[in-house]
Amino acid sequence: MTASTAVVLLTRDLRVHDHPALATTCAAFDRVVPLYVLDPALAGLSANRTRFLHQALADLRVELRERGGDLVVRHGDPVAETIRLAGEVGATAVALSADVSHYARRRERRLRAECDRHRLHLRLFPGLTVVEPGALQPGGGGDHYRVFSPYHRSWAARQWREELAAPDRVALPSGVRVGGLPKPPPGESPDAAVGGERVARQRLTDWLPALHRYDDQHDDMAGDDTSRLSPYLRFGCVSPLTVANSAGDRSGPFVRQLCWRDFYYQVTAAFPDISTAAYRRGATERWRYDDDALAAWTEGRTGMPIVDAGMRQMRAQGWMHNRARLITAGYLTKHLGQDWRSGVAVFFRWLLDGDVANNSGNWQWVAGTGNDTKPYRGFNPVRQAERYDPAGDYVRRWVPELAGVQGKAVHQPWRLPEALRRTLDYPPPLSVPGTDPVWLR
């Protein structure tokens, strides 16, 4: 009897634990070929994420080899390379984790058409979210939830799928060429986290004892007591279901953040233009386009310490504290009046966890064009800084020019005595024509 063979096309699911596509395929077929295709169309989007990706692929190869398999690596168009490999190994089926972005959906459509043409069975699997994007729909009509709170209630009450163990064995066809992994590039952020499933699972294990402090500590910018799992979730180095199950309480503040992640996936599934077009019907967009102001914000030299601290943390680590993301995004859009799309692009370049759904969805929320039920709200950066960095330690860590300024005075250096201000190598706050922010008075 001829052995059955299938290809599992890996995308943003770089793990072996709780991987529905891989686990189900290994159970159903004699031989399974895990494939990752390095697509030139995605090259150059983010040096930080490319480095993280290559580290995660190297780690995944180790995990697969421990189970008797390997990671097959190809370069080129993912659809063409999948079909070519299926022909080389005599596969009859292809498995793929479903995704929601324009790029992912176009890839899926093309792959389905090519599988049909070559008489290959294509099956899509869940796994990138806790609850599949199309699984929950509002009772009053509509194809998705536009407001978070009712979505969260439905999400928390939903019966989740069963978490799956890693396959005991992954059997490759004999003679398949696995291909070499490229050396990880240096990236742009010197202190960026290392990618990989084993790192992700260890990080989750190490952080869980601090879970009970999350509600009190997650907004403490200097304390830096968040899980830092977001890059690993973005690349699927750890399953979001595993993280949610490990945390327990579905209504708790930490699991609620995982629900926000799912929320934006279902929004993006219904509105795939989320990175380029205003989501909220009737949103008014009147933006200023000031390249100098955008550059100052990007480089962390706006003269607003809490904003500059956040931007410098992102450039150094490829990650930014969530509260700092709200403050920096609000400053760019509501104070500088800059187009949120410019902010999306900057974050997408630097952030290890930058993805279409959450990066763009959160930017639109802050800019007032997205899912916020109070679209005209603003973030006073001084008030935010004094509340969430009361001693000024976060600012002094990332803005060393202000290291000698004690206490919360560090948040408003323009109010310091003139003699002291002259000793600081730090710019005055950016001025915006026609505005008089209350925090600068």
Q: What is the pLDDT of residues 394-413, one digit of tens each?
A: 999 999 999 999 999 999 99
Q: What is the pLDDT of residues 171-222, one digit of tens each?
A: 999 999 999 998 888 999 999 999 999 999 999 999 999 999 999 899 999 9
- 3-state secondary structure string across the chain: CCCCEEEEEECCCCCCCCCHHHHHHHHHCCEEEEEEEECHHHCCCCHHHHHHHHHHHHHHHHHHHCCCCCCEEEECCHHHHHHHHHHHHCCCEEEEECCCCHHHHHHHHHHHHHHHHCCCEEEEECCCCCCCCCCCCCCCCCCCCCCHHHHHHHHHHCCCCCCCCCCCCCCCCCCCCCCCCCCCCCCCCCCCCCCCHHHHHHHHHHHHHHHHHHHHHCCCCCCCCCCCCHHHHHCCCCCHHHHHHHHCCCCCHHHHHHHHHHHHHHHHHHCCCCCCCCCCCCCCCCCECCHHHHHHHHHCCCCCHHHHHHHHHHHHHCCCCHHHHHHHHHHHHHHCCECHHHHHHHHHHHCCCCCHHHHHHHHHHHHCCCCCCCCCCCCCHHHHHHHHCCCCHHHHHHCHHHCCCCHHHHHCHHHCCHHHHHCCCCCCCCCCCCCCCHHHC
Task: Indicate if 257 and 313 belong to the same structural domain.
Answer: no
The mean pLDDT value for 400-427 works out to 95
**Does the structure show a pLDDT above 80 at 437?**
no
Task: Indicate if 416 and 343 belong to the same structural domain.
Answer: yes
Q: Residue 416 domain-assigned?
A: yes
Choose one of 239, 270, 301: the last residue of a domain. 270
**Does the structure show a pLDDT above 70 at 436?**
no
- Residues pairing with 124 in the sheet: 96
Choose one of 106, 128, 150: the last residue of a domain. 128
**Does the structure show a pLDDT above 80 at 325?**
yes
Q: What is the pLDDT of residues 80-128, one digit of tens each?
A: 999 999 999 999 999 999 999 999 999 999 999 999 999 999 999 999 9
Task: Indicate if 388 and 319 belong to the same structural domain.
Answer: yes
Q: Residue 370 domain-assigned?
A: yes
CA nearest neighbour of 315 among 238, 399, 232 = 399
Task: Indicate if 256 and 299 belong to the same structural domain.
Answer: no
pTM of the full structure: 0.96
Q: What is the pLDDT of residue 142?
A: 86
Task: Indicate if 408 and 299 belong to the same structural domain.
Answer: yes
Q: Residue 280 domain-assigned?
A: no
Q: How far is the C-alpha of 83 from the C-alpha of 81, rounded, in Å?
A: 5
Q: What is the pLDDT of residues 359-371, one digit of tens each?
A: 999 999 999 999 9
The tally of domains found in the chain comes to 3
Average pLDDT, the chain: 95
- Specify the CATH number for the domain of residue 299: 1.10.579.10
Structure-block tokens of residue 344: 């999306």
**Does the structure show a pLDDT above 90 at 356?**
yes
- Specify the CATH number for the domain of residue 151: 1.25.40.80
Task: Indicate if 108 and 136 belong to the same structural domain.
Answer: no
Task: Indicate if 308 and 418 belong to the same structural domain.
Answer: yes
The mean pLDDT value for 337-361 works out to 97
Binding region for FAD: 214, 226-230, 254, 257-264, 353-355
CA nearest neighbour of 358 among 231, 260, 213, 218 = 260
Q: Residue 184 domain-assigned?
A: no
Q: What is the pLDDT of residue 1?
A: 63
Q: What is the pLDDT of residue 440?
A: 67
Binding region: 214, 226-230, 254, 257-264, 353-355
Q: Residue 341 domain-assigned?
A: yes
Q: What is the pLDDT of residue 274?
A: 98
Q: Residue 257 domain-assigned?
A: yes
Q: Residue 283 domain-assigned?
A: no
Q: What is the pLDDT of residue 441?
A: 61
Task: Indicate if 124 and 49 belong to the same structural domain.
Answer: yes
Q: What is the pLDDT of residue 246?
A: 97
* Proportion of the chain above pLDDT 70, given as a percent: 98
Task: Indicate if 340 and 392 belong to the same structural domain.
Answer: yes
**Does the structure show a pLDDT above 80 at 306?**
yes
Q: How far is the C-alpha of 91 from the C-alpha of 129, rounded, in Å?
A: 28
User: How far are the Cα atoms of 106, 133, 368 from residue 270, in angstroms, in the given order?
Assistant: 15, 9, 19
Q: What is the pLDDT of residue 210?
A: 94
Structure-block tokens of residue 70: 């390997």
Q: How far is the C-alpha of 19 from the C-alpha of 17, rounded, in Å?
A: 5
**Does the structure show a pLDDT above 90 at 324?**
yes
Q: What is the pLDDT of residues 231-273, one digit of tens each?
A: 999 999 999 999 999 999 898 999 999 999 999 999 999 999 9
CB contact set of 371 (below 8 Å; sequence gap of 6+):
146, 147, 148, 263, 267, 279, 280, 361, 364, 365
358 or 142, which is more confident: 358
Q: How far is the C-alpha of 360 from the C-alpha of 275, rounded, in Å?
A: 5
Task: Indicate if 296 and 431 belong to the same structural domain.
Answer: yes
Q: What is the pLDDT of residue 141?
A: 78
Q: What is the pLDDT of residue 29?
A: 98
Domain housing 111: 5-128
Q: What is the pLDDT of residues 32-64, one digit of tens each?
A: 999 999 999 998 899 999 999 999 999 999 999
Q: What is the pLDDT of residue 135?
A: 96
Q: What is the pLDDT of residue 107?
A: 98
Task: Indicate if 64 and 88 belong to the same structural domain.
Answer: yes
236 or 378, which is more confident: 236
Task: Indicate if 40 and 88 belong to the same structural domain.
Answer: yes
Q: Residue 281 domain-assigned?
A: no
- Specify the CATH number for the domain of residue 89: 3.40.50.620
